[in-house]
Every structure is written in structure tokens, then in C-alpha cells.
Amino acid sequence: MDSTNSSAHAVSASASSEVPKIAPLAKYKLVFLGDQSVGKTSIITRFMYDQFEKSYQATIGIDFLSKTMYLEDRTVRLQLWDTAGQERFRSLIPSYIRDSSVAVIVYDITDRASFLNSSKWIDEVRTERGNDVVLMLVGNKTDLSDRRQVSSEEGASKAKEEGVLFIETSAKGNFNIKLLFRRLATALPGVDSNGHGQNTNVVDIKLQPSPTIETGENGKRCC
């Protein structure tokens, strides 16, 4: 072989060996469940785009959104699966629950039936995933507190009884949306209570701190 070609080949081989290996993104699948019109899409839209639409078309089947978060020295991808609440799409849900890391059960605090039905959604998740999933019960639409049919205490009590996380939110008022995802992040498998990954295959998701009580433009508590 020509010495020039031999030298070029050696440089090429050396350059190839120096190319850093890029670790794949840690991915977590979050499935949002609950009756129709409880605000699943609104919560996801607020988190993804910091927007709220006064009216949404009903989700048909399953919608999927992915958000890549760049965190200090690591990157994580959240896969958000927005499911339809209508009964005619119920048969599709189990297949999307099976490989999920998190299941978020949403009810409308102004609709007691949606709260009572949350038990069925929790049971469905446990049928598919057992205890290998993070479950959170979310009471949405706190901006409509004058029409409340489910108290915060009742929601918290049900969550305790079911052994799941609990939070109340308002997608419209942007109340506790970031806190919702921060609490889910710290509860992910392999992440300790301080949000620190316990091994190199798990990513620590950190969102900016959100106050326990958020206020609206008039300085009053939003809900």
C-alpha cells in the first residue's frame, strides 16, 4: 500500500475511534385518562405550549405529543398520550396503558360523576400495570370553584385510599400545572424523593419551582 494512503487510513481510523458515543434519550410515557371534557387536552396544551383554548374538539382515539427537555447536563423526552374519554374509544385504552411509566387520572371538580368514575380508570390502570406505574389523581378546573361539586379534602382522601398522588389544577388559570409535572418527575421509577437519579439510565427532571399557591392578575388566588 502507498505510504500516503496508509497514513490517510490511519488518520481516518483514529478519527472514527474518537467520535463520542451519544447515549439515547431517556423516554417516559405518560398516559392521561379520564372522562370526556375533564380537561386532559387543556392540561397537556398548557404544559407544552403555555396556552389555553376556550374550546377544544373532542379527542378522537389517541393523540400523542412529545416534549424534549434540556436539563443541565442531561436531556429527557416526555411522551404525552392524550386519550379520548368517550365510551366508544374505551377499548383502545388498555394497549396504551401497558407500557406506560405514568398514568394521570383527571376529573372535573364541577362534575361529580367524573370524580366517581376515576375509580374505574384507576382500576383499569392497575389491571394492566399492577404497581409498576406512577398514578396521580388530578382535580382540574379549580378556576370554577363557585361550581365545585368535589372538595379538595374529598379528592385527597380518595387518593390516599387508592394509594396514589393527588393535586388540583386549573389549565385555564395555569394553576399547579408545572407543579403537577414536577411531582410526577420526582416520582418516576429510579428517581428519589429529591429528584436525583439513582442510576445512569434514569434522568433527573427538574422544572422551575412553582409556589404552592398561585395568584391571578388581580392578586387573588386562582381558585
pLDDT per position as a tens digit, 8-36: 555 455 444 455 555 566 788 999 999 99
Q: Per residue in 63-75, pLDDT tens?
A: 678 887 665 444 6
- The residue segments making up the domain with residue 167 are 27-187
Alpha helix ranges (H) inside the chain: 3-18, 40-49, 93-97, 112-129, 152-162, 177-187
The domain total for the chain is 1
118 in any annotated domain:
yes
- In the predicted structure, residue 57 carries a pLDDT above the cut 60: no
On whether the CB atoms of residues 32 and 40 are closer than 8 A, the answer is yes
16 in any annotated domain:
no
The CATH number of residue 93's host domain is 3.40.50.300
The amino acid occupying position 8 is: A
17 in any annotated domain:
no
State residue 212's pLDDT score. Answer: 40
State residue 163's pLDDT score. Answer: 96
1 in any annotated domain:
no
155 in any annotated domain:
yes
Q: Per residue in 117-167, pLDDT tens?
A: 999 999 999 999 999 999 999 999 999 999 999 999 999 999 999 999 999
What's phi and psi for 109, nearest 5 deg? -65, -15
State residue 217's pLDDT score. Answer: 45
Question: Does the model's pTM come out above 0.75?
Answer: no
What's phi and psi for 46, nearest 5 deg? -65, -40
Residue 54 cell numbers, joined: 376556550
193 in any annotated domain:
no
The amino acid occupying position 174 is: N
Spatial CB neighbours of 50, under 8 Å, sequence gap ≥ 6: 174
If you compute the radius of gyration of the chain from its CA atoms, what whole number of angstroms results? 22
Give me the sign of the Cα torsion angle 63, 116, 166, 200.
Answer: negative
153 in any annotated domain:
yes
State the pLDDT confidence band at 169, using cuts at 50, 70 and 90. very high
State the pLDDT confidence band at 189, using cuts at 50, 70 and 90. low
Q: Per residue in 82-131, pLDDT tens?
A: 887 555 566 778 888 988 999 999 999 999 999 999 999 999 999 999 99
- In the predicted structure, residue 179 carries a pLDDT above the cut 60: yes
152 in any annotated domain:
yes
d(CA 37, CA 54): 12
